[in-house]
Amino acid sequence: MPSRLRAAAIAALLPLCLLAVQHAQAARQPPAPAQELTRQAVTAYDAGAFDSALRDFAKAAQQGNRLAQYNYAMMLLRGEGTPVRQEEALIWLHRAAENDMTQAQFTFGEMYEHGELVPRSLESANQWYRRAAEGGHVQAQVELATNYFTGRGLARDYGKAFEWYTRAATAGDGGAQYIVASYYERGEPGVVEKDIEQAKIWYARAAAHGDPGALAKLRSLIEQGLKAKQAGAM
């Protein structure tokens, strides 16, 4: 079941974090002019002016702005406005990660898991996933949960898997909602008791994300409940 949530190829997981992340993490960002430079860089990047974006991201990154550090690293990795500079990119990505930029932490987790630009290490991958997950990064929560469920680089622990899936599900991840529902549907000794009503709630939430499997499960549980009531009334 957790295979539904495995990450895509690493190349698809290196986006620039633009305004959405900037707003979400702005509370701990350094004051202007770093923030203003970052905003200018975002505007330039959106307009396709990579040279200007790279220059302003670099200036803001040097002032400690973690969003700029991450985006500067991504531009260096992708060769936008510059030839590809992998070693320098990793330095800036690491600075962003150590500066509690959860997307940077998650990206390092992906890199270590797949051996992209760094030696493959599931232990290091899970360390970075955990840091990002604890910071509220939903994809990292899902990855950490899945690795606990499968024992990938960690001792298998269904309880911790359920804990992290639940955190991701509560944050709105549809795949995690499906898995939490399945836990409640079957029950897991020492982890969670069987609770069909909770299962229906979580399947309904997953179905609201357009998951046809969750909708089918929800309908099946409702039908089973109706049949049980009818049998009890006879």
Q: Is residue 1 part of a domain?
A: no
36 & 103 share domain:
yes
Tell me which of 103, 135, 156 is where a domain ends. 156
Segment 178-198, tens digit of pLDDT: 999 999 999 999 999 999 999
Q: Is residue 134 part of a domain?
A: yes
What's the length of the chain?
234
141 & 164 share domain:
no
Segments forming the whole domain that contains residue 149:
6-156
Give how far Cα 40 sits from Cα of 68, 93, 97, Å.
11, 20, 22
142 & 164 share domain:
no
Distance, first Cα to last Cα, the chain: 37
What's the structural domain count of the chain?
Answer: 2
Reported confidence tier of residue 20, pLDDT bands at 50, 70, 90: very low
Task: Tell me phi and psi for residue 192, to 5 degrees.
Answer: -155, 140
Q: What is the domain-level CATH number for residue 18?
A: 1.25.40.10
Helix (H, G, I), strand (E, B) or coil at 136: coil
Tell me which of 156, 174, 207 is where a domain ends. 156
Reported confidence tier of residue 225, pLDDT bands at 50, 70, 90: confident
36 & 18 share domain:
yes
Reported confidence tier of residue 233, pLDDT bands at 50, 70, 90: low
Q: Would you say residue 28 has pLDDT above 70?
A: no
Read off the pTM: 0.84
164 & 114 share domain:
no
Task: Tell me which DSSP letter residue 33 carries.
Answer: T
145 & 199 share domain:
no
- For residues 2, 5, 11, 15, the Cα torsion angle rounded to the nearest 10 degrees is -140
